[in-house]
Homo-oligomer: A and B are copies of this chain.
Amino acid sequence: MTKGTYLGEFEIYVLAALERLGEEAYGVTVRGEIEERSGRMASLGAVYTTLERLAEKGFVTFWVSEPLPVPGGRSKKHARLTPAGRRALRESARALERMLGGVRLGLRGEGGRA
């Protein structure tokens, strides 16, 4: 029985976005990736707060990019997964998959209400 550190729901989205985005990951792109990919809404404030908390846990580190010669091209605070972060994401995702796997919820089609 793992008593351990299970990620919160939104934390999972943020870490998964980092995994997908790689070097392109920073506040705005993380938010975009979550919304486009999953359809789940995510405010920028929520993203930044969560990234900060994940960094405190050692799951994320930051690095700053050079400013770009375009409007609004200020330097960005990029985020990347640490090995511990990747491990935490994997553990949470696996446990969730085991729990949801096989449950008939219309995960493939069936859509609609009720």
- Interface residues of chain A, those whose CB is within 8 Å of chain B, are 1-4, 6-9, 12-13, 16-17, 19-20, 34-35, 37-41, 83, 86-87, 89-90, 92-100, 103-107, 113-114
Q: What DSSP secondary structure best describes chain A's contact surface?
A: helix
* Distance in angstroms between the alpha carbons of A96 and B3 in the assembled complex: 22
Q: Tell me which of B16, B39, B83 contacts A1 (CB under 8 A).
A: B39
Q: Is the CB of A16 within 8 A of B100?
A: yes
A93 and B107 in contact (CB under 8 A), knowing A6-B9, A41-B1, A99-B38? yes
User: How near does chain B come to A114, taking the closest CB pair, in angstroms?
Assistant: 5
Q: Which of A1, A9, A13 has the most CB of B within 10 A?
A: A9
